[in-house]
Structure 1
Amino acid sequence: MIQKFADWLVYDIFGLKDTTPIGEAVNFFLYDSIKILVLLFFISLIMGIINAYFPIERLRNYLTSRKLYGLQYFFAALFGAITPFCSCSSIPLFIGFVKGGIPLGVTFAYLITSPLVNEVAVAMFIGTFGLRITAIYVISGILLGMAGGFVLGKMKLEPYLSGWVQQIQHSSAESDKWETGNTPFIKRLPKIIHEAWNIVRGVLLYILIGIGIGALMHGYVPEGFFEQYMATDNWFAVPLSVILAVPMYANAAGIVPVIEVFVAKGIPIGTAISFMMAVVGLSLPEATLLKKVMTWRLICIFFGLITLFIIFLGYLFNAVL
């Protein structure tokens, strides 16, 4: 429905053509802005209800228990793999996890994996590259989320969350004290809706700026621009492809056809997949949205670590595939 509305508004009402860069950019901006804002509000609403009725302290204790032996990172990465979100769409749930007090490393495991692996991309991957390469990609995406979440969790980066998030966490902790489980839902609902709207309002500007950057990249980056830098067989093709991919913004399903073209034109499969991982897992729009949630120092640590992991996987894929 959102896509149909964006198409109607841009192409029928505004009179823009879907074959022009401005038409593609405006359509992309409207569609993603509405989608992410609606998603953010409803996820915040759901997390508010969960926080009000679910024993979140018990979940926090469970996820920080040593008895799990690191499986909490696997569970978070697996949950990321089955949620069909792009990098920017994953951020609302990331905010909900942080607000609920879920350990930061576990939350990062979800944030890393969610855009990399989803059922649509997996189906397209199977049809394009076969079962073997698809299985390797899915497993590596989940392992990347687990490893990244584990390392980031061990770095104790909570002080580098933004003051806005820390205030939300404090407000959430305080709200647990003013109500008991006997309070009727209908009386809690107005406060839950108000808190959800405050979260949307707090990140609105960052969402619009981030999606605006993505829309410009989506509409105006010329076709074939990246291929000339990735096609040559040299040692720095993998890191260069990852660096070139960061300004881009697309979901996994949208980038798979591009990767198919890359491989058909002779680009090594590992280089192409590392480009795809960087496009869907790291992007300037994502960094802009994360700025409301994290300090620049934490964003740089997050991007730097995942970039190194993706480069390593690119070399590994080229060696074994």
Structure 2
Amino acid sequence: MSVTERVRAGSSVRRWTGLAGAAVVWFALYAVNGRFWTWLVGHVFGLDLTSRLGSGVLFFVTDSVKIVLLLVGIIFVVTVLRSFMSVERTRALLGGRREGVGNVMAAGLGVVTPFCSCSAVPAFIGFVAAGVPIGVTLSFLIASPLVNEVAIAMLFGMFGIGPTALYIVAGLLIAVVAGFTLGRLHVERWVEPFVFETRLRGQVVDPSIGLSWDDRIQMGLEEVRTILRRIWPYLLVGIGLGAAIHGWAPADLFARYAGAGNPFAVLVAVALGVPLYSNAAGVMPLVQALHDKGLPMGTLLAFMMAVVALSLPEMILLRRVLKPPLIAAFVAVTALGIIAVGYLFNAVLPA
């Protein structure tokens, strides 16, 4: 083996060893994140984790670290993968006549990824940057928090197979139709331009040119740094807002203004749900309590869907990569779908 070949072999070993070590560290940090902050906030600092202050602080630090880890991991992996394929080629593969199929596939992927609305944003950014059609990525963004296995299991245990099946079908339908509709509006012009750029050492490059593995890894690291630098203020503000309103359960207000006798109950439910921030498991106890008070299932599901699929922290995070017209269109189309499903469920499953 020549000196050049030995140098190349040694470089390759260092590269893959470094990547393997980084992956192990990433998975370890992600695995211990919740337990570490629970111990630190609850035992070291002595905050009551059931109080508004304690649960809010725990929520902020845990979600901040979790979302940063997701951003780092997903953006790095997606950037390296997209270095093998140009944006135009990806769009040609996933767009056009196959876009409707892409929406269904993206919604299905969202179902099996147990993200809350903010946790789904890193994957959304990676998909958009990879050239996946914007309508397809929006289907994923809607479905990921809206329909997940935790909510399915809890709904089935509380209310049985009928409401659970309707919830799954309705959630997927909202994600597919909303994403397809927004894709037909050609809303790519409302995505921030930097998302579509592939850069290497500060220069925009065409991924279709020959790149070494070192180039691809460097590209991934640079993309992580660039996006984190651009969105970290939005990240902290969004999660901070979510922490401030975390655990706020307007049970009395909800029961008063969204009761069975109010024809605008579904609209009220969605309006109350959007400012909140929680995952499906977190909001389910409130849903059960309100159901016990006699509120219709459609109103409750509309509230739950609004909480998990549309939240102010999510909008703040998305603002760094999407322009206000697209965020407004995303909220409007998704909210209309949720409202329609709420009234439909109230007609099919009255309280």
TM range (shorter): over 0.9
Aligned equivalent of 2:196? 169
Equivalent residue in structure 1 for 2:238, among 177, 187, 210: 210
Contact 1:207 1:289 in 2 (8 A): yes
Secondary structure, aligned partner of 1:53: coil
Change (3 A) 1:205 1:35: same
Is the deviation greater in 273-282 or in 68-77?
68-77
Contact 2:85 2:208 in 1 (8 A): no
Tell me the alpha carbon deviations over residues 271-291 of structure 1, each in whole angstroms, 9 at most, x when there is no partner: 000000000000111111111
Contact 1:22 1:219 in 2 (8 A): no
Q: What's the CA shift for 1:221?
A: 5.2
Contact 1:230 1:241 in 2 (8 A): yes
Q: What's the CA shift for 1:193?
A: 1.4
Equivalent residue in structure 2 for 1:188, among 197, 204, 216: 216
C-alpha distance in 1, partners of 2:124/2:134? 9
Amino acid at match of 1:155: L
Aligned equivalent of 1:244? 272
Aligned equivalent of 1:309? 337
Q: What's the CA shift for 1:176?
A: 3.0
Secondary structure, aligned partner of 1:86: coil
Equivalent residue in structure 2 for 1:122, among 127, 149, 152: 152
Aligned equivalent of 2:9? none
Provide the aligned length of Structure 1 versus Structure 2: 315
Aligned equivalent of 1:136? 166
Contact 2:199 2:223 in 1 (8 A): no
Aligned equivalent of 1:156? 186
Aligned equivalent of 1:295? 323
Aligned equivalent of 2:143? 113
Q: What's the CA shift for 1:262?
A: 1.3
Structure 2 alignment gaps of length 5 or more: 1-31
Structure with the greater alpha carbon radius of gyration:
2
Structure 1 alignment gaps of length 5 or more: none
Q: What's the CA shift for 1:167?
A: 1.7
Tell me the alpha carbon deviations over residues 55-76 of structure 1, each in whole angstroms, 9 at most, x when there is no partner: 664442121132x372221111
Change (3 A) 1:304 1:90: same
Q: What's the CA shift for 1:240?
A: 0.6
Equivalent residue in structure 2 for 1:71, among 78, 95, 101: 101
Q: What's the CA shift for 1:187?
A: 4.6
Aligned equivalent of 2:51? 20
C-alpha distance in 2, partners of 1:229/1:69? 40
TM-score normalized by the length of structure 2? 0.85
**Identical positions, percent:** 43
Counterpart check, 1:92 vs 2:119 = no
C-alpha distance in 2, partners of 1:220/1:317? 26
C-alpha distance in 2, partners of 1:45/1:70? 28
C-alpha distance in 2, partners of 1:69/1:120? 28
Tell me the alpha carbon deviations over residues 35-59 of structure 1, each in whole angstroms, 9 at most, x when there is no partner: 1110111000110121123566444
